[in-house]
Amino acid sequence: MVTSLRARTLGFAPGLLAPGPHNAITDVAGVRVGQVTLIQGEATRTGVTAILPHPGNPYASRVPAGLFAMNGFGKMAGVTQVQELGELETPILLTNTLAVGRAVEALVDWTLAQPGSESVRSVNAVVGETNDGRLNDIRARGVTADHMRQALEIATDGPVAEGSVGAGTGTMAFGWKGGIGTASRLLPAALGGWTVGALVQANYGGALLMDGLALGRLLRKYDLAEHAAEQADADGSVMVVVATDAPLSDRNLQRLARRAMAGIARTGAAFSDGSGDYALAFATHADVRRTPQRGAVADWPNDRMSALFVAAAEATEEAVLNALCCATTISSRLDGRRVTGQALPLDQVAALRRAACRLP
Q: How far apart are CA 174 and CA 156, in angstroms?
A: 30
Annotated catalytic residue 250: no
Q: What is the DSSP letter of 187?
A: -
Catalytic pick among 237, 249, 272, 332: 237
Handedness of CA 108, 113, 115, 119 (dihedral sign): positive
- Give the three-class secondary structure for 184: strand
Q: What is the DSSP letter of 267?
A: T
Using N-to-C axis directions, what is the helix angle for 250-266 and 306-326, rounded to 10°?
50
Sheet holding 32-40, edge to edge: 32-40, 44-52, 92-96, 126-130
User: CB-based burial of residue 73 (10 Å sphere; 0-12 exposed, 13-18 middle, 19+ buried)?
Assistant: middle
Render the burial of 305-314: b for 16+ CB within 10 Å, e for the rest: bebbbbbbbb
Q: What is the largest CA-CA distance in the chain?
A: 67
Annotated catalytic residue 299: no
> How many other C-beta atoms can be found within 10 angstroms of the C-beta atom of residue 4?
15
Catalytic pick among 245, 250, 277, 299: 277
Annotated catalytic residue 237: yes
Closest residue by Cα to residue 324 from 38, 42, 97, 4: 4
Q: How far apart are CA 75 and CA 293, in angstroms?
A: 33
Q: How far apart are CA 272 and CA 156, in angstroms?
A: 34
Closest residue by Cα to residue 171 from 67, 337, 48: 48
Q: How far apart are CA 74 and CA 237, in angstroms?
A: 8
Task: Please list the active-site residues.
Answer: 237, 275, 277
